[in-house]
Chain A
């Protein structure tokens, strides 16, 4: 699959984020060059950045948040440059960064979730009401009086997410959002994020190297190569249909995609790869009966 078989995405009125060919150089001389395809994220869509360690996923997200400023290329969020005009868009953006331990700033869970509304000058009753609503949304209202650093990793992540959702953002940026979550919380969170995108029209950007769940996380994916080039884009099915291109990006394909690809090498009549266990089982069963 060439990078252009799926094609760079055309401009659409639903575009929330567009990043073209940025380069960031660090003090020690190394640089991350996020060129190749434009990175586009749209309203109501979950966009996933996939890539191995060191491919620049976090660097990309930091540019979107205006925490890094690129010397080349352009970054547009709601049509503005986040590095210089952050104040005008920050109320529309919710963020959970990778190390949640460091992200919880306030002394108690309730205070932390109420942090942003208070900073925006909402009255105390409204700030607290919003905080409680966000905690309830995540099903962690009972954690309200607790001190954040005593929580488990999964609980901290949920608190951080409540803090990101409290202002009902239009853009939600999540760096490795499922790390440290037990399977049940994970399923809950995946469904919560889907609801945010589908029903509230939130634009969600996530980074992950959890390949096996990409099909349930993503509406659209970007695959980064080591060193930072955006190598592939497309829906999960499009991306994982071609194992060779994926392997070149140092990414192990989802176990089901790998299974279908191996089967196809043995028997070309193998059906189209399915990334969902239920669908894969049904497809393989039907194929088996057909033989």
Chain B
């Protein structure tokens, strides 16, 4: 899990997606999800995927990382599709739905610092849940770093264990064992720190607004267009009509345009 790279992208870069209001991005994500839910047309879904890629090119996000992250659920969707879909078209729709939804979520996460993503959830959940959510993300960084150190140390000490699956599993197991003890002690130290720093049961985040109204509007209009396309296509054309191949064209054009603009 490349949390470090995700976080660097969210917090350090520039570009219209990063300067937009986190709330607009979350609303846009909901609209894109709606579009994914409604559509059962492989080509329409493919056009959404392409449009989201265009958005991440436009937003100067690390496109390779976005694709890699979205490919992860695609693997699982492929297994699910293989296991349950009646035909190749259904299977491809299932995989495309997974990829498009994931790409939408990833686009938001790659352009928004995690506190701003969690803030709305923090508002609707009990105090302990929101605080623990923020602390989990923070602990995740500490634990992932520790885990890779433990794994490296275990591998070095185990010599060429990587060749032998059983021994290599043992290496992972012992690293996880070490990680778990470390994690428990970390919780204790966190508690100590919270106590001396006066924690009373609420971690607060300073809300971040928008510094680019045009980006907000573009994001919202773009996602509305996707939802509208999805709804209209579904209600107007219940079959994969002969003109479905047209759907990806505007998305491809947008992708080409954003690439050209980014180069230029």
Contacts and interface: CB of A to CB of B under 8 A. Distances in A.
Interface in A78-100: 86, 90-91, 93, 95, 97, 99
A101 B142 contact: yes
Given A108-B113, A119-B200, A67 B195 contact: yes
Interface string B22-44: 00000000000000000000000
B90 to A, nearest CB: 42
A150 B198 contact: no
A176 interface: no
Q: Which 10 A-B pairs have the closest CB atoms?
A: A107-B115, A119-B198, A149-B141, A95-B196, A67-B192, A147-B11, A119-B200, A103-B193, A116-B198, A65-B196
Contacts of B196: 65, 67, 86, 90, 93, 95, 97
Interface in B157-192: 186, 189-190, 192
Given A102-B142, A106-B205, A149-B142, 9 more contacts: A65-B196, A97-B196, A102-B190, A105-B199, A107-B134, A107-B203, A119-B199, A120-B198, A150-B12
User: Would you call the interface of chain B mostly helix, strand, loop, or mixed?
Assistant: helix
Interface residues of A, number: 34
B176 to A, nearest CB: 20
B128 interface: no
A236 interface: no
Interface in A105-152: 105-108, 110-111, 114-116, 118-120, 128, 145-150
Given A146-B11, A149-B138, A149-B141, A105 B194 contact: yes
Given A67-B192, A128-B206, A105 B138 contact: yes
A106 B190 CA distance: 12
A262 B30 CA distance: 75
A147 B113 contact: yes
Contacts of B8: 150
A144 to B, nearest CB: 9
A186 B199 CA distance: 29
B114 interface: yes
A133 to B, nearest CB: 16
Contacts of B194: 105
A86 B12 CA distance: 39
B123 interface: no
Interface of B: 7-8, 11-12, 113-115, 118, 134-135, 137-138, 141-142, 186, 189-190, 192-200, 202-206, 208
B7 A106 contact: no
Given A102-B193, A147-B11, A110 B206 contact: yes
Nearest to B139: A102
Contacts of B118: 107
Nearest to A86: B195
A163 interface: yes
Contacts of A65: 192, 196
A85 to B, nearest CB: 13
B158 to A, nearest CB: 27
A107 B8 CA distance: 14
Contact of A111 (B190, B193, B195, B206): B206
A160 to B, nearest CB: 10
A90 to B, nearest CB: 6
Given A111-B206, A119-B197, A105 B7 contact: no
A206 to B, nearest CB: 16
A107 B121 CA distance: 15
Given A102-B142, A102-B193, A149-B138, A91 B204 contact: no
28 contacts: A62-B192, A67-B195, A90-B196, A90-B198, A91-B198, A97-B189, A101-B142, A102-B193, A103-B193, A105-B135, A105-B138, A105-B193, A106-B204, A107-B114, A107-B134, A107-B205, A108-B115, A108-B206, A115-B197, A115-B198, A118-B202, A119-B198, A119-B199, A145-B208, A146-B11, A147-B114, A149-B7, A150-B8
A4 B113 CA distance: 57
